[in-house]
Amino acid sequence: MHSPDQTINPPRRTKATLINTITPIIFCALATLLFPSAAMAQDAVPQNAAAEAPAGFFAILFSGGITGFIIVMILIALSIYSAYLIVEQILTVQRKDLLPPGLGETVQQALGTGDLRGARQACEENPSLLSFVLMHGIAELEFGWNAVEKTLEDSLAEQAARMFRKIEYLSVIGNIAPMIGLLGTVIGMILAFQNVASTQGTASAPQLAEGIYQALITTVGGLIVAIPSIGAFAIFRNRIDQFIAEAAHIAQHVFTPLRRRAKKG
């Protein structure tokens, strides 16, 4: 039996298994695409100034030397974690899991007949955001409507904070990925102009252009990681706000008879 102070989460054994299955697939897909290309890029490193510039997106991506390689690998790691968070939220932030259909009506009917045990049992059989809030409200019934209203607000705020903490990492990734990419670009530009200085200005325009576009590729990589992360964060934030508001509305409706009695008294 769950106590009112214990966070009630929906059963996720099947979903957790699916997430654990999908994550290696995402990693393997990225590794299949990127690492062979990295090897090709390393094989294609010019032995002299007359050698051909790296061709292809991934060859350019991994042609920035050890510093560029480290930055690109950090961006790949962030992209994998971002993909994992997105898949997890898609599978877990669902209406049927957070707001089980019929739970509010069942609890309201049980409370209307004075069956507190039945109301608690209904919540325990449907662990979710809504059941967590209702369980806290039921636990405060003996103290009157004001206590119930206060605990409903507190439990909703607690669950909202818990759900937002999970998607906050998407916002963090969306903010730091462009900065990491920009760091790689700045380092690459420094190296490109250092090359010009070391050759006493005899470096040709194509050689300078090659260093610049290799430096800019990390900024592109950072934006590729950041844009989906920020977009997903906005979508999931709005979905969570919506579900929290609906849970508050249902909880208020469940305890409406108690509120009316408090007003009459």
pLDDT computed for residue 19 by the predictor: 54
Residue pair 54/174 in contact by the 8 Å Cβ criterion: no
Nearest one of 72, 57, 41 to 181, comparing CA atoms: 72
pTM comes to 0.73
pLDDT tens for the chain, residues 1 to 265: 444 544 444 444 455 555 555 555 555 554 444 444 333 333 433 444 334 555 555 566 666 667 778 888 999 999 999 999 999 999 999 999 999 999 999 999 998 888 889 999 999 999 999 999 999 999 998 888 889 999 999 999 999 999 999 899 999 999 999 999 999 888 888 877 777 777 776 666 776 676 677 778 888 889 999 999 999 999 999 999 999 999 999 999 998 887 777 666 5
Residue pair 138/226 in contact by the 8 Å Cβ criterion: no
- Please state at what angle helix 145-198 crosses helix 129-139, rounded to 10 degrees: 140
Long-range contacts from 55-63, C-beta under 8 angstroms, 24+ separation: 58/33, 58/34, 60/213, 60/214, 60/217, 61/34, 61/37, 61/217, 61/221, 62/34, 62/37, 62/38, 63/214
pLDDT computed for residue 37 by the predictor: 38
